[in-house]
Amino acid sequence: MGNEAIALGAIHSNLSVATGYAGTPSTEVMETIIKEVNRMDKINNDNTNDNNNDTTIYVEWSTNEKVALENAIGASYSGANTIVTMKQVGLNVASDPLMSLTYLGTNGALVIVVTDDPTPHSSQTEQDTRHYGSFANVPVFDPCDAQEAYDLTKYAYEISGKYKTPVILRSTTRLSHGYNDVIIDKVTDNEVIERLKTEKSNIGFIKDPKWAIMPKLVSKNHPILEEKQLKIAEDFSNSNFNNITIFNNKNTDNKNNKKNLGIITSGVSYYYTLEALNILKEDKTNDEFQNFLDNYNIEILKISTPYPFPESKVLDFIKNNKKDILVTVEELDSVLEDNTLKLIGKYNSTINNTNNNNLNNIKFYGKYNLFPKCGEYNVDIVKTLLNKIINEDIEFECNNNNNNNNNNNNNNNNYNNYNKNKMGNGENTEQEITLPVRLPTLCAGCMHRIAFYAFKKVAKEFKKQNIETIFSGDIGCYTLGATPPLSATDTCLCMGAGISLATGLSRVNSNTKNIAFIGDSTFFHSGIPAVVNAVYNEADVTIVVLDNETTAMTGHQPHPGTGQKARGNAKVIDIEKVLKSCNVENVQTIDISKFANIEQEEVFNNILKECKSSMEYKGVSAIIFKGDCVTKKIPNSKKSKAKNLKVVIDENLCNSCKLCINEIGCPALRYDSLNNSIELLDSCTNCGLCINICPKGALSKKLVF
């Protein structure tokens, strides 16, 4: 896996400190480091579970990305080699220390692994981390497969150490979650441990005014920082990671008569480009392309270090076999494209125009006239557009809007025909097949569903008094509370925003109730300042903490409320106590373990009562729903005697009114149109929530042996 390769690359570069906050698709980098440390610790016969001794890498799931980066910076100042892992939106949170850090530089190597998510598959944004490179003057590395991820990680450590600068290793979902065969260095565990010992014996913080940022220091350091970028760019130009692939055979005829096409690309787009060209080449019916191959040399330049841009390398590429056509192929933003165009402009404006060395009259294709700016690329998209270039059937409109709209439609039609039931390739259309739609949804038996349903029910009561309830959500599994039929999320923006949004909404929407849902991990990540703000400024909101005692969405990482760390145990920080110490006076905890008798009317009504009183309270109130995540392995000791109690449907009582399905959207309930009946699927966890809904009493728990 790409993420595993990055982790091993770091461990093989004498890593001593690793911090991060979980976020798809970055999470496995840290998880791999933790796994390796645990494994080596056993070899070392050092089962003290000591997370910071001479022979182990210190690993930490931090409370948020800013904190993670600052921890690593402290270690780096002292000479330790460090890694910080996060997803792209995490870097927004950590950008404050990053922007300042570059002026001061580092001591030990500091590699920030940031994963982008074109499409996006599981993110709030499609932002392109490469921009942080030029924004913060931080070198960026951008690998194309797991092998290069390993090699480039090692190179990133080298550059970071050599130039005393933080660096960003940028990945995308396809790389992070893709697998390749990877050749890694032969480094034995003992070697890793020995190196670490040596490394750690040299670590120590040396006091120096250079570590304290001051305006005067910044103005002194800024020119040095800019100078550094030029040197690194030169290093990158000489690096083999930025390399040229000759696509078509030059031995066919005298290449001097041929024209030249150059493609500049990076990351996974490099492989899409290669394969697209190969497919076009093998298609003997494509006369235009066969013709093109006879008349053109095709060369591909892969850029693995987008910032600082390796200008000399790119310039040589354009000038050698002087390119008649240039194409940039890259996902997300036009980073390679803008830098290439800038380079050509700079070059043309500095040379003496009387000689014929200028780079005018190059046909240039990029995002401004052809390639999509949004979404993930694939071979089919690249192939279609390259074919278009070759056929020269592009109308050169610099009217971007038109073009980009077309491109994005194009893009959307090209893949993910997920919700279309038509055949994509035009064959076999004699029969329409209806395929099921599998939307992401809260798991069957998820404790969050109970909270959402309870608040929705109470909100209906307020509605009768003409009081509207606005639900603000947050980032985590419970974001899925937005999907119908629950539809219990009216706003959702970024980590920790739910509480502040609810507060803001309450200021200008009189006669409304404002509820903010926040998960346990998100609460610690960035929820607490919003709580303090709401209380101190006397807002009237209800905070609902959905505490399933884990960071569930990303695969169960620990947080300060779990009693676990990346390695070993710790003392729990109690959310209820935190809320109370922030002067939230009305705090209640509802314990919904998986085995609560939620199917009993009295139990469920009590929950509704507590939700209602919480909403009626003038001021900041909080309810903590505490329970287990159904995907977490629960120790057997917790298994209750109720395990033989199963939810069953009495078919004689059920009249298929679908109320159970339409109210809570539990994936274990399905309407079978063939038999006009409701069926209970295997995924049912027997939580019993649906029993509260059925007006006919057709749902109940029965002892099953």
Partner 1 sequence: MKKCDIIISGVGGQGIVLASRLIATMALRKGYKISTAETIGMSQRGGSVVSNLRLDSYRKGSLIPKGQANVIIGFEPAEAYRYNEYLNKDAKVLLNSNPIYSSSKTPENEIYSKKEVIKIMELFDKNNTLTSCNFNKMALEFGNLKTMNIMMIAIACFNNYLPFSVNELNNTIKEEMPSKIKDINLKAVEFAINNFEKYANINSNNVIKI
In the complex, which residues of this chain contact partner 1 (CB under 8 A)? 24-25, 121-122, 145, 147, 173-174, 177-181, 268, 271-272, 274-276, 279, 378-380, 383, 417-418, 421, 423-425, 427-428, 431, 433-444, 477, 480, 483-485, 553, 631, 661-662, 665-674, 681, 683
Judge contact between 113 and 83, C-beta under 8 A: yes
The minimum distance between CB 482 and partner 1, in angstroms, equals 12
Structural tokens at position 205: 């913080």
The minimum distance between CB 679 and partner 1, in angstroms, equals 8
By C-beta, is 114 or 268 nearer to partner 1? 268
What number of other Cβ atoms are within 10 A of residue 512's Cβ? 16
> What DSSP string describes 553-603?
TTT-B--TTTTB-SSSB-PPPPHHHHHHHTT--EEEEEEE-TTS-TTSHHH
By C-beta, is 422 or 609 nearer to partner 1? 422
By C-beta, is 212 or 674 nearer to partner 1? 674
Task: Read off the amino acid at residue 688.
Answer: G
Q: Measure Cα distances from 96 to 63, 70, 102, 307 in Å.
A: 16, 10, 11, 20
The minimum distance between CB 19 and partner 1, in angstroms, equals 22
By C-beta, is 23 or 79 nearer to partner 1? 23
The minimum distance between CB 174 and partner 1, in angstroms, equals 6
238-256 b/e (C-beta count within 10 Å ≥ 16 → b): ebebbeeeebbeeeeeeee
Nearest CA among 492, 607, 611, 604 for reference residue 544: 611
By C-beta, is 315 or 661 nearer to partner 1? 661
The minimum distance between CB 425 and partner 1, in angstroms, equals 4
By C-beta, is 76 or 124 nearer to partner 1? 124
By C-beta, is 485 or 529 nearer to partner 1? 485
By C-beta, is 178 or 558 nearer to partner 1? 178
The minimum distance between CB 428 and partner 1, in angstroms, equals 5
By C-beta, is 145 or 520 nearer to partner 1? 145
Residue 72's SS3 state is: helix
Judge contact between 479 and 473, C-beta under 8 A: yes
By C-beta, is 231 or 422 nearer to partner 1? 422
Rounded to an integer, what distance in angstroms lies between the CA atom of residue 585 and that of residue 534? 12
Rounded to an integer, what distance in angstroms lies between the CA atom of residue 37 and that of residue 638? 30
Q: Which residue has the tokens 């192929």?
A: 329
Task: Read off the amino acid at residue 15.
Answer: L
Rounded to an integer, what distance in angstroms lies between the CA atom of residue 565 and that of residue 51? 10
Rounded to an integer, what distance in angstroms lies between the CA atom of residue 626 and that of residue 546? 7
Structural tokens at position 90: 């995490």
The minimum distance between CB 271 and partner 1, in angstroms, equals 3
> What DSSP string describes 119-173?
S-SS-S----THHHHHHHT--EE--SSHHHHHHHHHHHHHHHHHHT-EEEEEEEH
The minimum distance between CB 102 and partner 1, in angstroms, equals 31
By C-beta, is 83 or 381 nearer to partner 1? 381
Judge contact between 94 and 138, C-beta under 8 A: no
The minimum distance between CB 307 and partner 1, in angstroms, equals 23
Give the angle 134-344-387 at the CA atoms, nearest 5°.
95
Residue 547's SS3 state is: strand
Question: How many angstroms separate the first and last alpha carbons of the chain?
Answer: 44
Residue 514's SS3 state is: strand
The minimum distance between CB 328 and partner 1, in angstroms, equals 17
Nearest CA among 15, 325, 427 for reference residue 195: 15
Q: Which residue has the tokens 């250079």?
A: 210
By C-beta, is 300 or 444 nearer to partner 1? 444
The minimum distance between CB 683 and partner 1, in angstroms, equals 7
The minimum distance between CB 126 and partner 1, in angstroms, equals 14
- The tally of CA atoms less than 13 A away on the side-chain side of residue 320 is 12
